[in-house]
Amino acid sequence: MAQYLVRRLLLSVVVLFLTTIATFTLAHSVPGDPTAAIVSEKIATPAVIAQVRKKYGLDKPVPVQYVLYLKNLLHGDLGQSLTTRHSVGRDLKEFFPATVELALFAMMFAMVVGGPLGVLAAIRHNGAVDHAARGVSLLGTAVPIYYLALLAQTVFAYRLKILPFGGRLDDGIDPPKHLTGLYTVDALVHGQWNLLGMALKHVLLPGIVLGSFAIGIIARMIRSSLLDVMNNDYVRTARAKGLPERAVIGSHALRNALIPTVTVLGLTFGGLLAGAVFTESIFRWPGLGQYAVQTATKLDFAGILGVTLVVAVVIISLNLLVDILYGFLDPRIRVN
Amino acid sequence: MKRIARFRRYAAMALLALIVPSLLAACGGSSAATSTPAATKAAASTGAAPTTAPAAATTAGSPAAAATTAGVAPTTAPAAGGTTAAAKPGGQIIMGRNINDLITFDPGHVYEISSNPIMAGAYETLVFQNPPDITKYVPVLAKEVPTTQNGGISADGKTYTFKLRDNVKFHTGNTMTADDWVFSMRRLHYLSDNPSFLADPFSTATAVNVKAVDPMTVQFTLAAPNVAFLSYMATNNTVVLDSKAVKEKGGTDAPTAKDTDKAKDFLDQNSAGTGPFILKSFKIKDEVVMDKNPNYWGSPAKFDRFILKQMKDSGTERQQLEAGAIDIANDLDPDAVAALAKSGKYTITKGNTLDHVYLALNTSSDVGGLLANKLVRQAIGYAIDYDGIINGLLKGAAVRPPTIIPLGLLGVDKVTPMYKTDLTKAKDLVKQANAVGQTIKLTYGAGDVIEGVALDTLAPKLKADIEQTGLKVELVPQEPQQRLADYRAAKLQFTVSSWSPDYADVHTYAEPFGKTGGAAAKRVKYSNPEVDKLLAQGLTENDSAKRADIYGQIQKIIQDDAPFLVIEQPVAQIVTTKAITGYVYHPVDLVNPYLLAKAG
């Protein structure tokens, strides 16, 4: 196991390195001048622009800029954002926890709804429950998320007034004492129950909207995997032995059906983290998606690279976790 | 058949699941269709909503100002059918606006439009310019506005002496002195950031000529007379900071401040000013919160908390206003404003911004090509369907100044507008210039929206208008930041751009657009010695009427030369609930929160 982990870690470093090269090259190949975003109209003389370019290292050839970036990265310095004027590390610390909180909630919701839905659909194959489950899955994946977000906001916040329009807390309220940056976790750990309730109320709607896409994927994956597994001999044998159906499904079929589902879960979570842009924007959720859009549109190279690295690290870590989980789910799969 | 029936069942279920919530969302009340893309500034509708009557003079955080000016308390004409209740202390006021541009509240660095209401609430200047007549000054932290008569301005116009108001406390509890002003102005200059040019009138390469004559008197010595100087001193950057507190947090006014000052992080989240509000928190892309300053030197604010809240788009902003989640909607689309005006439940406040959208025509032969010929530039001026653009694209939410000086600034009324749509004249000018059939390239930012105008819609409209003259127009969409960089480098033949003011004086437009080497003029290689001469006169002319004449002459020349053609000057339109009173639109600050009150 240790050898396997070391091998995977080394591979991860290579993947991250290649990711930075690809992102750096792509970002610099987009036509545009990043200094235009930060130097005002009134003072944009060639001398001032040259000064700003020198300050941010933009006056050097691209390969030299990359080497310098890598050198700083090895010291934990992700550079300075052109748009926020803060260090990228600080920006990521500020924006990333919000996205993690949203994605975690969305994932939990998707698993709680999608998992049982998929199982029911498989068990009641071709019945009313199966049709309903497939309909819900279809809706979740087919309806554009920005439309769903606007609809949800209009119904629950505007019409029914039972949930807030957006934000992580009510207007003007101070966040809980900082620990992780996830307001629900921080409030829970510090016993700030009012804030916990408030944070949960605020994450509910965007979490459900973001998770709706994943419900469909999870439900369909579990359904088809379970259907496939349930046709196997060992399931027939289990039934023939007289085991109750619950035991047949729960102890024998489901575990094997989860193997492909776990893969999908890992990729879906990574996708939620990377793709929460619309949800964050509509629900005023100050997360990584919003930061990513801003840095991309302003050609903020350090910011773009910072976001890419974070997302890459998360996806690599999730893939590793998934691979380790395989070993638990299926004794035939050993990491050695 | 079974499959078909099953498919129909699925389709019916899917449709139902879509339609029911949509109906629930859409039906009833005054809410109309789905959200429309946000404009960067609110644009007015052509609805019949009553407008707020701007106050003859409004206080700007200064009880003394109210006494000095012929003060009339701001009045708000409520929308038809309602009255506003009397305001009582307490409560919070929430203003919604797209605040994605906000990054700091450090006066030495801040340069974003959305920051202005916060800066206006937390920090104060020596003097101020109150709408609607922003050509006049009122004292704020100065005891009186310096003039040559009261000895505040020296005879040669180069020395300005301000006697400071007594017993003004900073948010930190320290007392304001002249030394704090010296520190604040030096720091502004030496930070060498976007707003640092505001210290230029009294700074050189090696010195910042501001000194404390005594603990309560601060003096500025200008390099050259500058009648617009008081306007420089009325901006949200030329404000006073508590020097002791800022130094404790790593702030410095040393010449190395650009690299050594460390106070920005502190000032992003805390205010060290004297204003009626104290900055409490700033959550980027989310909200800014200010609380009432209980130790304010003047009358305390009429409510406890001001929140500036992020609004992604007009649709959400409108919903939140209607649901009572916000009190002020700052940048609604024209159709949303019209719908709200018809409801009769809101107050609509209108005001001319000092921004504009203009065409830049390169006058040099190497880059401008046939635009180097004034006749061709003038022809374009006559070809454009200005009314179509203002009424069609902006739903009437704009006005149009004669040339590069926006309406509301000194001297605009001294020039008769030259360019009205006149295709006959335009065609004639093109023929005279022997330019029929020749091509000009219009470069614009693809996907960009400036001052509420989508350039992907405006550019084809301009092409269609201009091609009626016999000229051909090639549209060149470009990545917006690259377009801006090329424009600044004077590489573009013909482009669309926008400008907004730094300070509320006519010179903030006349110089960059008219002076040889001015920030905008050099981008189109425009130079007219007569304009340069008049600009120099305008900077030193103390008599307001004579100064207005000078800038009138400048505008006539620039209008005739036509290196720039202004398409529109947006009209801001702010919607507030009936409970809000005192909203006075300020073309630079947007609003001063101190003037607001909320009933109930």
User: Which of B6, B105, B114, B285 to probe by mutation at the A interface, max A CB count within 10 Å?
Assistant: B285
Binary contact (A294, B281; C-beta < 8 A): no
Tell me how far apart the alpha carbons of residues A106 and A289 are, in angstroms, rounded to a whole number: 15
CA distance A165 to B288: 17
Report CA-CA distances (Å) from A188 to A176, A198, B193: 9, 12, 43
Tell me, what's the ipTM?
0.86
Instruction: Report which residue type is found at B51.
Output: T
Neighbours of A318 (CB within 10 A): 17
Checking if the pLDDT of B317 tops 60, the result is: yes
Q: Which of B31, B281, B285 sits opposite A174 (nearest CB)?
A: B281
Q: Does B96 touch chain A (CB under 8 A)?
A: no
CA-nearest residue of chain B to A87?
Answer: B265
Give the pLDDT confidence score for residue A238 in this predicted structure: 77
Average pLDDT, chain B: 86
Interface check B32 vs A, CB under 8 A: no
Residue B36 contacts A where some CB pair is shorter than 8 Å: no
Please give the average per-residue pLDDT across A291-304, as a whole number: 88
pLDDT (0 to 100) of residue A234: 76
| Cα angle B343, B347, B353; round to 5 | 120
Q: Do A31 and B519 touch (CB under 8 A)?
A: no
| Residue-level pLDDT at A225 | 84
Lowest mean pLDDT among B83-92, B157-166, B176-185: B83-92
Does B170 touch chain A if contact means CB atoms closer than 8 Å? no
What is the distance between the alpha carbons of residues B319 and B313, in angstroms, rounded to a whole number?
A: 10
Cβ-defined contact of A155 to B489 (cutoff 8 Å): no
pLDDT of A110 > 70? The answer is yes
Task: Name, in order, each residue with C-beta under 8 angstroms of B488's C-beta and a sequence gap of 6 or more.
Answer: A36, A44, A49, B523
Residue with tokens 């129950």: A193
pLDDT at residue number B78: 33
Decide if pLDDT at A167 tops 80: yes
- CB pair distance less than 8 Å for B196 and A43: yes
Other CB atoms within a 10 A radius of the CB of residue B222 amount to 20
Lowest mean pLDDT among A37-51, B212-226, B499-513: A37-51
pLDDT at position A333: 63
Mean pLDDT, residues A171-197: 95
Instruction: Report the side by side order of strands in the sheet with B210-214.
Output: B159-163, B217-221, B210-214
B5 interfacial to chain A (CB closer than 8 Å): no
% of chain B at pLDDT higher than 90: 76
Phi, psi for A77 (deg, rounded to 5):
-105, 115
Question: Would you state the pLDDT for residue B66?
Answer: 31
Q: In Å, how far is A256's CA from the nearest CA of chain B?
A: 30
Question: Nearest Cα to B441, choosing from B480, B493, B488?
Answer: B493
Check CB contact under 8 Å for B18 and A165. Answer: no
Q: How confident is the model at residue B434 (pLDDT cuts 50, 70, 90)?
A: very high
pLDDT at B511: 94
Long-range contacts, B460-468 (Cβ 8 Å, 24+): B461/B385, B461/B388, B461/B389, B461/B393, B462/B359, B462/B384, B462/B496, B465/B383, B465/B384, B465/B385, B466/B380, B466/B383, B466/B384, B466/B440, B468/B383, B468/B423, B468/B426, B468/B427
pLDDT over threshold 50, residue B383:
yes
With a cut of 70, say whether residue B20 has pLDDT above it.
Answer: no
pLDDT-derived band at B17, boundaries 50, 70, 90: low
In Å, how far is A74's CA from the nearest CA of chain B?
A: 24
B479 touching A (Cβ < 8 Å)? yes
Q: Most A CBs within 10 Å: which of B194, B311, B355, B486, as the mutation test of the A interface? A: B194
Query: Looking at residue B54, what is its pLDDT?
Result: 27
- Closest CA of chain B from A327, distance in Å: 38
Contact B325 A32 (CB under 8 A): no
* Residues from chain B contacting residue A84 (CB–CB below 8 Å): 103, 284
From the candidates A35, A38, A42, which should be mutated to test the interface with B, based on the most B CB atoms within 10 A? A42
Grade residue B29 by pLDDT with cuts at 50, 70 and 90: very low
Q: Which of A86-100, A227-241, B13-27, B439-453 bottoms out in mean pLDDT, i.e. has the lowest?
A: B13-27
Chain B residue numbers touching A37 (CB-CB < 8 A): 481
Average pLDDT estimate for A215-235: 83
Decide: helix, strand or coil at residue B282: strand
Closest Cα to residue B43, out of B445, B318, B428, B390?
A: B390
The reported pLDDT for the residue numbered A135 is 83
Does the pLDDT value for residue B446 go beyond 70? yes
Q: Is the pLDDT score of A44 beyond 80?
A: no
Min Cα distance A43 → chain B (Å) is 7
pLDDT band at residue B88 under the 50/70/90 scheme: low
Would the CB atoms of B35 and A150 count as touching at under 8 Å? yes
Q: How far is Cα B403 from Cα B540, in angstroms, rounded to an integer?
A: 23
Contacting residues of B for A220, CB less than 8 Å apart: none
**Chain B nearest-CA residue for A95:** B284
Q: Does A43 sit within 8 Å of B197, measured CB to CB?
A: yes
Mean pLDDT of A250-264: 75
> Do the chains contact at A294 and B100, CB–CB below 8 Å?
yes
For residue B45, what pLDDT is reported?
Answer: 28
Note the pLDDT tens digit of each residue in B541-599.
989 899 999 999 999 999 999 999 999 999 999 999 999 999 999 998 889 999 999 99
Mean pLDDT, rounded, of chain A: 86
According to DSSP, the β-strands at B453-454 and B449-450 are antiparallel
Q: Distance (Å, rounded) from C-alpha B240 to C-alpha B104?
A: 16
Residues of A in contact with B319 (CB under 8 A): 153-154, 157-158, 165
CB neighbours of A99 closer than 8 A, spacing ≥ 6?
A: A273, A276, A280, A285, A287, A288, A289
What integer is the mean pLDDT of A31-55? Answer: 79
Chains A–B, number of C-beta pairs less than 8 Å apart: 138
CA separation, residue A177 to residues A98, A191, B268, B271 (Å):
15, 10, 20, 22
User: Contact A41/B520, CB-based, under 8 Å?
Assistant: yes
Do residues B501 and B588 touch, judged by C-beta distance below 8 A? yes
End-to-end CA separation in angstroms for chain A: 6
Instruction: Give the SS3 label for residue B499.
Output: strand
pLDDT tens digits, B531-551: 999 999 999 998 989 999 999
Token output for B553: 């002459």
- Residues B374-384, mean pLDDT to the nearest whole number: 97
* pLDDT higher than 70, residue B62: no
Q: Is A85 left (phi over 0), alpha (psi -120 to 50) or beta?
A: left
User: With pLDDT > 70 as the criterion, what percentage of chain B qualifies?
Assistant: 85
Q: In this complex, which of B322, B323, B488 lies closest to A44 when CB atoms are compared?
A: B488
Alpha-carbon distance values, A10 to A1, A5, A6, A66, B582 (Å): 14, 9, 6, 21, 64
Host H or E run for residue A51: helix A46-55
Interface test with chain B among A134, A171, A278, A300, by most B beta carbons within 10 Å? A171
Using CB atoms, pick whichever of B10, B111, B283 lies closest to residue A40.
B111
B14 interfacial to chain A (CB closer than 8 Å)? yes
For helices B455-467 and B374-383, what crossing angle results, to 10°? Answer: 110
Name the H helices within B295-373. 314-322, 334-343, 365-368
Q: Name the B residues in 372-431 with CB < 8 Å from any A CB.
A: none
Least CB–CB distance from B479: residue in A32, A139, A165? A32
B131 upstream amide cis, omega within 30 of 0: no
CA distance A152 to A33: 39
Beta-ladder partners of A48:
none
pLDDT at B131: 82
Question: Is A331 a residue whose pLDDT tops 80?
Answer: no
* Mode of pairing for the β-strands spanning B580-581 and B472-478: unpaired
Residue (of B352, B311, B319) closest to B336 by Cα position: B319
pLDDT in tens, B488-523: 999 999 999 999 988 889 999 999 999 999 999 999
pLDDT of B8 > 90? The answer is: no
Pairing of strands B328-329, B92-97: parallel
B318 by DSSP, 3-state: which?
A: helix
Cβ-based neighbour number of residue B259 at 10 Å:
11
Q: Where is pLDDT greater, at B278 or A122?
A: B278
- Residue A135 to residue B31, Cβ atoms within 8 A: no
- Cβ within 8 Å of A, B 246-265: 264-265
Measured between alpha carbons, how far is B434 from B83 in angstroms, rounded to an integer? 63
Do B395 and B46 form a contact (C-beta atoms < 8 A)? yes
* Distance between CA atoms of residues A207 and A56, nearest Å: 37
- When pLDDT is averaged across residues A85-108 and rounded to a whole number, the result is 93
pLDDT value for A247: 76
Return the higher-pLDDT residue of A320 and A211: A211
Q: Which residues of A touch B21 (CB under 8 A)?
A: 151, 155
Q: Indicate the pLDDT class of residue A275, thresholds 50, 70 and 90.
A: low
Alpha helices in B344-385 (DSSP H): 365-368, 374-383
- Contact flag B485-A46 (C-beta cutoff 8 Å): no
